Amino acid sequence: MDRSAGSGARSGVSARARVDVHRVPRAHRGQGRPRGPAHSLRGPSRTRHERPPPGLRLHVEEHADAVAAALDAAGATGAELIGHSMGGAVAVVLAHRRPGLVSRLVLTEANLDAFPPVTAASSEIASYEEDEFVERGYARVLDAVGPLWAATMRLADPRALHRSAVGLRRGSDPVMRTLLEESPVDRVFLQGAHSGELPGREALESAGVRVVTVPAAGHNIMFDNPDAFAAVVVGIC
């Protein structure tokens, strides 16, 4: 678990964990990145060929509890959570459910509302019944999302992916946007310029959320403009 970083802790600088929460559900834990560990959301790996337990709904709250368990196991508190897309929604819910674990949220085009537009990937995935998605929809979605997203989506078990999409459309209660507005921690929201204006931006800013529009970037800001993304994460812009 990165403490941002070990040398800082030895020199007396306050250290805290920095955790990257992915948007794709996988069984195995994500490998550490240079500045912090990456936590892959829950769900059996495709290579194991096993059906997720029927009681494992994979709603946003369950993903948040899984990340909390990983932080607890590492003995981390006051972590910085960096969440993209669904990972951002999970990070917001975790900050609400376990406030002692989180000191800062860096959200990259996070899902904030239940029942997103029909054009959203989660809406398309959730439009299938689970078995239908596994048998036919999974391959169609992989073809439709393009090679960049498909490269990570192929790591996900299709049933876990479907259940996570259903849970994301359901959202949390209260919904993620409300939790974000009411959260007492430091909050930054990154919106790609190519994605258009962030709905509800003024209300978020009034609640203390710093909204940063990243130029030359769409939904995948960390790929489209990695320098701007990194600058926000390390707090220099």
CATH architecture for residues 6-114+170-233: 3-Layer(aba) Sandwich (3.40)
| Cβ burial, residue 228 (10 Å; 0-12/13-18/19+) | buried
Block residue for tokens 């069984």: 27
User: Model confidence over 182-199: pLDDT tens digits?
Assistant: 999 999 999 999 999 999
Question: In sequence order, what E strands does 96-137 have?
Answer: 102-108
User: Model confidence over 9-64: pLDDT tens digits?
Assistant: 333 333 568 888 865 544 333 333 334 445 555 554 444 445 667 778 899 999 99
**Taking 90 as the threshold, does the pLDDT of residue 229 lie above it?**
yes
- Do residues 46 and 155 make contact, with C-beta atoms less than 8 angstroms apart? yes
Would you state the pLDDT for residue 93?
98
Would you state the pLDDT for residue 41?
57
Closest-CA residue to 225 (of 188, 195, 180, 187): 195
Got the DSSP string for 35-86?
TB-EEEES---GGG--PPPTT----HHHHHHHHHHHHHHHT--SEEEEEETH
Instruction: For helices 158-170 and 60-74, give the axis angle rounded to 10 degrees.
Output: 110
Would you state the pLDDT for residue 20?
86
Query: Helix (H, G, I), strand (E, B), or coil: what is residue 159?
Result: helix
Residues, the chain: 237
Give the chain's mean pLDDT: 83
Chain centre to alpha carbon of residue 182: 19
Would you state the pLDDT for residue 24?
54
d(CA 41, CA 133): 19
Closest-CA residue to 169 (of 218, 220, 126, 109): 126
Closest-CA residue to 214 (of 108, 132, 131, 118): 108
- In this prediction the pTM is 0.83
Would you state the pLDDT for residue 86?
94
Domain ranges of the chain: 6-114+170-233
What DSSP state is assigned to residue 199? Answer: T
